[in-house]
Amino acid sequence: MRDFLDNYLDKIIAVIIILVISYIVNLAIDKIINKTIRIRRKKNITTLLLFIKRIKKIIIYAIAILTCLFEFDVFNSFSVTLLSGLGIGSVVIGLAAQESLKNFFGSVAIVAGSPYEVGDFIECVDKGVSGTVEDITMRHTVIRTINNRRVVIPNSEMNTYTIENFNYSENENVKLVTFNISYESDVDKAIKILKDEMNKLYHPNSKGRNKDVEYPKVRVSELDDSSIVLTAWVWGIDNSDVFENMYVLNYNILKRFPKEGIEIPYPHIEIIDKKKASRK
């Protein structure tokens, strides 16, 4: 027992110190990253820091374990044999974990290229999935859909999809909303009502890229068989705000059009009772 303590006590203490230091360093970096994310609140920084937060834990503990092993002479004596077999082992591991490696390098490409970031509203055109990017891990991307479900897609696949990013260069967004009125209605009056209601909603940024955008903008877009189609350009501070403004505008127009004498056409079904008709 004394020989064991004489030979290995200092090494065991060194291993404990290395592991404790590694734990403290990992914890300290996590706190710095979390504080930076809270202060900066920028999507590109958040995405990068979350990725670093995950990968740094593996690197720190891998270095700590190797340092601990080098404290023992047994490991040093077998290190040459281990390194010689590492080449063959890496090939075997690489083949076995080929899909995982593809996803890892896919995540690196996403973080480096920034086609989308945490917080962006995107649509995977090829997949038919749309929603807010909730997380980008070393393996997959988590998308929160409008109905609050999570879709998990491997990063290797995300790199092959056509991505429509609604927040790529700016948050402001626009949607085209259509309204149908009857041919008997006053089209000029209907357009004025639409513009009045749109003025109560979000206006595009007059100082940004949309400074020359016409707002409010309403056009007669189609002359249908039974109605005149009016199209309104509805803006929002971001994608979710656009949808909310669309819902508000629809509600307000539904209430105001009938009061102002603007008819909203809809199919009418006339039911004829043959018995009553024959009596008459």
Which of 169, 77, 154, 68 shows the shortest CA–CA distance to 115?
169
Which of 115, 246, 229, 247 shows the shortest CA–CA distance to 174?
246
Q: Which two tokens stand for residue 76?
A: 């040093």
**Could you give the dihedral angle defined by the CA atoms of residues 148, 154, 159 and 163, in that order, rounded to the nearest 10 degrees?**
-10
pLDDT of residue 79: 53
**Could you give the dihedral angle defined by the CA atoms of residues 41, 27, 55 and 158, in that order, rounded to the nearest 10 degrees?**
-40
Note if the pTM is more than 0.75: no
pLDDT of residue 63: 80
Amino acid (one-letter) located at 202: Y
Rounded average pLDDT over 29-36 = 77
Annotated domain spans of the chain: 2-96, 107-165, 173-259
For residues 90 and 123, which has the higher predicted lDDT (pLDDT)?
Answer: 123
> Which residues fall within 8 angstroms of residue 260, CB to CB, at 6 or more apart?
189, 193
Least trusted range by pLDDT, from 35-49, 70-84, 242-256? 70-84
In the CATH hierarchy, which fold is given to the domain comprising 173-259? Alpha-Beta Plaits (3.30.70)
pLDDT of residue 247: 94
Average pLDDT over the chain, rounded to an integer? 78
pLDDT of residue 237: 83
In the CATH hierarchy, which fold is given to the domain comprising 107-165? SH3 type barrels. (2.30.30)
Band of pLDDT at residue 130, cut at 50, 70 and 90: confident
Q: Which two tokens stand for residue 146?
A: 């409008």
Same fold, 107-165 and 173-259: no
Question: Tens digit of pLDDT for each residue in 155-180?
Answer: 888 888 888 887 766 667 888 999 99
In the predicted model, is pLDDT for residue 232 greater than 60?
A: yes
Question: Tens digit of pLDDT for each residue in 138-148?
Answer: 788 899 988 88
pLDDT of residue 22: 83
In the predicted model, is pLDDT for residue 4 greater than 70?
A: no
pLDDT of residue 41: 56
In the predicted model, is pLDDT for residue 239 greater than 70?
A: yes
